[in-house]
Amino acid sequence: MLKSTAALVIDQNGDRVLYAKNVDAIVPIASITKLMTAVVVLDSGAPLDEILVVTEADLDDVKHTRSRLRVGTALTRTEMLRLALMASENRAAAALARAGEGGTREFAAAMNRKAASLGMLHTRFVDGTGLSSENVSTAQDLSRLVAAAYNYPLIREYTTSTSYAVTLENGRLLHYNNSNRLVGSSVWDIGLSKTGFINEAGRCLVMQSRIASRQVVIVLLDSWGKLTRVGDANRIKKWIETRAPRLPES
């Protein structure tokens, strides 16, 4: 049915598995990591209006990805959080982790403690961006993360915004779009979304969505090709809509 290497679809209300494929395979998760970054930031109680400044320490020395947030860019913690979640902005995520109490290393430790508390027993984080292939998890574990992250109103809002613009100190506007093209689709009702990609992880997508009157969690990992994860999500939606009357009730 699906082309993603690992996939899981759960009826969120009744915690019933509707579809499962390789759900216990431990694999790199790329920027799906940023959901946990957001959870840890919000749990910390750090002031959301505090100004964070991008430094040399936030540059990507793993994949050497580019960013429009230059060294010296100053944004509030909430703006960094929005860009990290909505547009998967790596320097924003790195700045959030570095600005946490104890710095980047302690932030990763906090991510792992939170994962353990959620029962994500096959998950490990080493950074807040997901650029490292050592950030690993399973589809089963990530379904727990999605369910937990859905309880945070800001995460729901930021991951489902179609676009956002930040104003730099020089007055210049930087416009960003959501990394998940389905968020702007009129046929989808998405409550939470996060994409991810590095070569080791393939293209990944997690979502919470309402389909045929059901609240569902969707996890798609290691999708080949640029359009496969979107195609798989649309196949899941059509499958649920077609079979809704025959699926178990919550």
Give the residue carrying structure tokens 């997690």: 206
Q: 3, 4, 21, 34: which is the annotated catalytic residue?
A: 34
- Residue pair 72/53 in contact (Cβ under 8 Å)? The answer is yes
Phi, psi of 22 (to 5 degrees): 55, 45
pLDDT digits (tens, 9 = 90+) for 19-49: 999 999 999 999 999 999 999 999 999 999 9
Q: What is the pLDDT of residue 243?
A: 84
Q: What is the pLDDT of residue 250?
A: 47
Give yes or no: 88 in active site. yes
In this structure, the number of other CB atoms found within 10 A of the CB of residue 234 comes to: 15
Q: Domain 6-246 maps to which CATH number in 2.30.30.40, 3.40.50.300, 3.90.420.10, 3.40.710.10?
A: 3.40.710.10
H-helix or E-strand spanning residue 93: helix 90-98
Q: 88, 132, 137, 143: which is the annotated catalytic residue?
A: 88
Q: Is the pLDDT of residue 247 over 70?
A: no
Give yes or no: 226 in active site. no
Q: 3, 4, 21, 31: which is the annotated catalytic residue?
A: 31
User: Model pTM?
Assistant: 0.95
pLDDT digits (tens, 9 = 90+) for 63-72: 999 999 999 9
Written as six digits, the tokens of 117 are 């508390």
3-state secondary structure of 186: coil
Q: Report domain extents, the chain.
A: 6-246
Which long-range contacts (C-beta less than 8 Å, at least 24 apart) are formed by 177-180? 177/87, 178/86, 178/87, 179/31, 179/86, 179/87, 179/88, 180/205, 180/207
Give yes or no: 44 in active site. no
Q: What is the pLDDT of residue 245?
A: 61
pLDDT digits (tens, 9 = 90+) for 106-147: 999 999 999 999 999 999 999 999 999 999 999 999 999 999
**Angle separating helix axes 33-44 and 77-86, nearest 10 degrees:** 160
d(CA 96, CA 154): 15
Give the closest residue to 237 by CA, choosing from 193, 196, 192, 207: 207
C-alpha distance across the termini of the chain, in Å: 23
The helix, strand and coil proportions of the chain, stated in percent and rounded to the nearest 5, come to 40, 25, 40
